[in-house]
Amino acid sequence: MPSRVRLEGVAKVFGTGDTAVRALADVDLSVEAGELVGLKGPSGSGKSTLLNVVACILEPSAGRLLLDDEVVWEGRYRIADLRRLRRERIGFIFQFHNLLPFLDATDNVALPMTLAGADIRTARTRARELLEHLQVGRRAAAMPSRLSGGEAQRVAIARALVNRPRVILADEPTAALDSERARVVMDLLRELARAQSAAVLVVTHDEKIFDRFDRLVSLRDGRIEASAPP
């Protein structure tokens, strides 16, 4: 099985000198195709930093990052078109949904697919299917300002999945959801991991969903403290 995501000795330091913060130190982590991994740890332990490093949003300070066994960062980025990499290979579900306010739910979901070259009708059809699947199909024509927090989060999840990314990253995706909807989202992420051979890495505090992961990784002070089945 290929490693979809691999970090080798990854460090991340914010700032310099006396005010430097070591957010990640010597992190070794692999996520395989089809694997659903939970990332937990106290506030400030480096969970979001780790996700942003994998997403090529934050540049590491040291170590190596590989996606699909291809070196993406080692001393510098080794990929010319990072925006394309993020758009086509990575699905990021943020803690706060950041939908575009001037597009309805369907077009928010369809946008990354049209940016990747799909025609708008195909993209909208897929967007509606995903919204149905996430139980928010009724809201397909709604503008983001008319959506509840939970609805907006599910639209954002659909948007992250529209290009069938092989790496799916989510920062507390179920925080705004009740436990029934949290379960639907987790089941969908699991199904996607299996069906698309995707690596799914989810930051969560939610003990109710710990048992849905293949593996739980605990971070403390920027280091991996434990990595084991739940």
Q: Among positive and negative, which fits the CA dihedral 49, 221, 174, 147?
A: negative
The Cα–Cα gap between 198 and 35 comes to 7
Among 34, 46, 144, 173, binds ligand ADP (CB under 6 A): 46
Residue 102 DSSP label: T
Asked if residues 118 and 109 have their Cβ atoms less than 8 Å apart, the reply is: no
Name which of 2 and 44 has its Cβ closer to ligand ADP.
44
Residue 107: count other Cβ atoms within 10 Å of its Cβ: 20
Task: Give me the least distance between CB of 48 and Mg ion, in Å please.
Answer: 3
Considering only CA atoms, give the Rg of the chain: 17
Q: Is 204 in the site for ligand ADP (CB under 6 A)?
A: no
Asked if residues 177 and 150 have their Cβ atoms less than 8 Å apart, the reply is: yes
The Cα–Cα gap between 200 and 216 comes to 12
Residue 90: count other Cβ atoms within 10 Å of its Cβ: 20
With contacts defined by CB under 6 A, name the span among 14-22, 61-69, 123-131, 134-142 that binds ligand ADP. 14-22
Residue 112 binds which of Mg ion, ligand ADP, none (CB < 5-8 A, kind-dependent): none
Name which of 11 and 118 has its Cβ closer to ligand ADP.
11
Phi, psi angle pair for 52, to nearest 5° = -70, -30
Bridge partners, residue 84, by sequence: none
Among 23, 37, 182, 201, binds ligand ADP (CB under 6 A): 23
Residue 102 binds which of Mg ion, ligand ADP, none (CB < 5-8 A, kind-dependent): none
Q: Is 49 in the site for Mg ion (CB under 5 A)?
A: no
Task: Give me the least distance between CB of 60 and ligand ADP, in Å please.
Answer: 13
Q: Is 48 in the site for Mg ion (CB under 5 A)?
A: yes
Q: Is 43 in the site for ligand ADP (CB under 6 A)?
A: yes
Residues that bind ligand ADP (CB under 6 A): 14-15, 21, 23, 41, 43-49
Residues that bind Mg ion (CB under 5 A): 48
